[in-house]
Amino acid sequence: MENSSHFPHTSPATKPGLILLAHGSRDALWRQPIEAVQQAVAGQQPELPCLCAYLDACAPDLPSATAELLSQGVDHLTVLPLFLGTGKHAREDIPRLIDVLRQQYPHCRFEVLTAAGEDPRVTALLADMALKAISTQPATDSAR
């Protein structure tokens, strides 16, 4: 298993950190898949500081998660929006929040990745899941 950093523009002089940013929900069960991604990251790169953060309805929010990671010495923070598409949150809300954080923490480099659902690997996985679901359904009787 490869254990090298997959974060662009890092150097030995920087300490990278990762925030998995999702919308948020009051329903604690909704957060389980987001937290599962964080656990998978921790399993593959346990030395990488990584937190979940949410835009709404649950904690921590992006500023709180940022403050926590910076308190651990992170000075290059990558934010991965766990959204299927680049909607209003990804186009407007997240950049606005990041601009505030950049002003608040000028010593930290912030990088915001494209929404996860825009990655062709995610698109391919979702298509594969849909096709497998169809292929496992029993054949319908056309004589009815």
Tens-digit pLDDT profile for residues 39-56? 999 999 999 999 999 999
- pLDDT at residue 3 in the model: 40
- CA angle, 112 then 27 then 93, to 5°: 25
Q: Which residue shows structure tokens 């009051």?
A: 26
User: pLDDT tens digits for 4-31?
Assistant: 444 555 555 699 999 999 999 999 899 9
User: pLDDT tens digits for 68-96?
Assistant: 999 999 999 999 999 998 888 888 999 99
- pLDDT at residue 112 in the model: 96
User: pLDDT tens digits for 97-134?
Assistant: 999 999 999 999 999 999 999 999 999 999 999 999 99
Strand partners, 112: 79
- pLDDT at residue 5 in the model: 43
pTM: 0.84
> 16-135 has which CATH code?
3.40.50.1400
